[in-house]
A and B are shown apart, each in its own frame.
Chain A
């Protein structure tokens, strides 16, 4: 894929946010908050960082792979997959509807290109990504495996089983990222179940931790992901702490858990879309 300028990438971010809001609004269900906060991450990965082929094949040999462990960010993932050529942008309108390949949470059952494992039940993705990374090593494939996890998701015990395993086996072809927005369904993570010092936790588990302080600044995200790549291949798994704001890009949605799993009304959608320029054409 041809590299795009920051201005072009920024336009894709805006369009991704419009896609997410329109998709969730159309079915009056889904999760707008977190994907709005991860637009810069998704766009940086799919339009710059990943060495990937939108002519999807499940095995992904000699390609970088991406896994989404926090599957409820599906609207954002589907948008970036469609906008980068995995399937027609038109298909976004089928999100969460009957007979669609765009299930509420990502799935392989309907054969949607770009998805390699189902996710939605939290805490499982890191294990799967580690398995895929180890398969790459066994196959002599030098490409990387990327994965996004939610911060609330870290409350699942399996994540820490995987954390231990990754360091034990030195799975250094894996670059994980935590969407560190500090919010989950029931409220701020520090009130629901405090994650305390995440950097220290991952370091204590034997990971290389890379902080990306402004996760909603495209240049900072690109730079952070490039740094993460430079940290790979050195014997340790890499964890990006990506500081984002849930709901970023829409003034009344930003920085609160209230839009974790709630769709906007007609008026709210109009208000939100008014803040986000249509850059690539709505689906």
Chain B
């Protein structure tokens, strides 16, 4: 039996390709945009930009700390640096560099982080960072964005090029359904209500937005009408959209490819506890590291797929 999905797809693609294509397009629009990469140009899909604008692209070698400092320095003189590497090396490895030279100094640097989360897959836990959103959202001045598919990642990349200030843009490796429109307008900090519902709200970010879309159809078969809200911007968080939805549904689920500690769910809980305490269930990694496996296997084993969102939604409903 096939599900009656409110969003469907005909093609799958990796979100990192959305970044690469958006980066090239942004570079064509604005000659001040420059690129930096720490020996992962192919993995980050930055090669097309490098080929078209070789003078505006800087291979830094395997030296991420230096790359972050370089990017901060290039903003002095008006450049808009996009610094790319794996999410693990783009955050934890260089946290102090980002904190002092980028965030505290309020530099117009775009930190572009691929291969985030469990869906990186077979490389295993050393590379599967699940703490990056927390680290980045804690930094004052930092904007944190985690788009859900190829189209949204491309739109987000174009949007951050126009935004003044430090940004952390998180995307991933696996081939993933393209279910959002190619011509979408990406507004930083503005949540997108994808599906209307009345019983429970699912706040999802990144790859798990697709899982939330699937979960909504599964819940609907059982007569439960879930509202699905795409939180592509973790910070600044669209508190108004969150409160408006929960005022209607009375309970919620957060879904993210990240540790529960410090993730999107934590931010939503802060908002709810201040303004409208309501039951909130968390779909995320529960204080553990990942491991090798396929993306599908990992999402299942760590409890991050549509089935888990359905379970969490039912639990939240019972607590109303």
Residues of B within 8 A of A162 (CB): 66, 69-70
- Please judge, given known A-B contacts A59-B77, A165-B63, whether A131 and B105 are in contact too, CB under 8 Å: no
A232 partner residues in chain B, CB cutoff 8 A: none
Contact of A127 among B56, B73, B106, B107 (CB under 8 A): B73
Contact: A161 with B76, CB < 8 Å?
no
Given the complex, which residues of A lie within 8 Å of B74, measured CB to CB? 131-132, 134-135
Indicate the size class of the contact surface on chain B.
Answer: 20 to 34
Query: A140-184 toward B: CB 8 Å interface, digit per residue (1/0)?
Result: 010000000000000001100110110011000000000000000
Decide: B69 and A109 in contact? CB cutoff 8 A. no
Interface 0/1 of A110-138, CB less than 8 Å to B: 00000011111101111111111111101
The answer to whether A65 has its CB under 8 Å from any CB of chain B is yes
Which residues of B have CB within 8 Å of A109? 104-106
Contact A130 B69 (CB under 8 A): yes
User: Are B34 and A117 interface neighbours, CB within 8 A?
Assistant: no
> Is A139 located at the chain interface by the 8 A CB criterion?
yes
Q: In this assembly, does A58 line the interface, its C-beta being within 8 Å of a C-beta of chain B?
A: yes
CB distance from A138 to the nearest CB of B (A): 7
User: Which A residues are in CB contact (< 8 Å) with B106?
Assistant: 108-109
| Residues of the B chain whose Cβ atoms lie less than 8 Å from the Cβ of A108 | 104-106
- Cα-based distance from A129 to B55 in the complex (angstroms): 19
Which residues of chain A are within 8 angstroms of B77 by Cβ–Cβ distance?
A: 59-61, 132, 135-136, 138-139, 141
Check B100 against A134 for contact (C-beta < 8 Å).
no
B115 at the interface (CB under 8 A from A): no
A129 touching B100, Cβ below 8 Å: no
B269 at interface, CB cutoff 8 A: no
Given A127-B68, A135-B74, A135-B76, A117–B63 Cβ distance below 8 Å? no
CB neighbours of A134 from chain B (8 A): 58, 70, 73-74
A107 CB within 8 Å of chain B: yes
Q: Which residues of B contact A139 (CB under 8 A)?
A: 77-78
Task: State the Cβ distance, B109 to closest chain A Cβ, in Å.
Answer: 10
Chain B hits for A116, CB < 8 A: 76, 105
Is B61 interfacial (CB 8 A cutoff)? yes
Q: Which of B61-102 contact A (CB under 8 A)?
A: 61, 63, 65-79, 81, 96-97, 99-101
Is B294 at the interface (CB under 8 A from chain A)? Answer: no
- In the complex, the answer to whether A165 meets B100 with C-beta atoms within 8 Å is no
- Give the 3 A-B residue pairs with the shortest CB-CB distance, closest first: A131-B73, A127-B69, A135-B77
Q: List 7 A-B contacts (CB under 8 A).
A: A65-B76, A118-B104, A127-B66, A128-B69, A132-B76, A133-B73, A158-B66
> Residues of B with Cβ closer than 8 Å to A?
34, 55-56, 58, 60-61, 63, 65-79, 81, 96-97, 99-101, 104-107
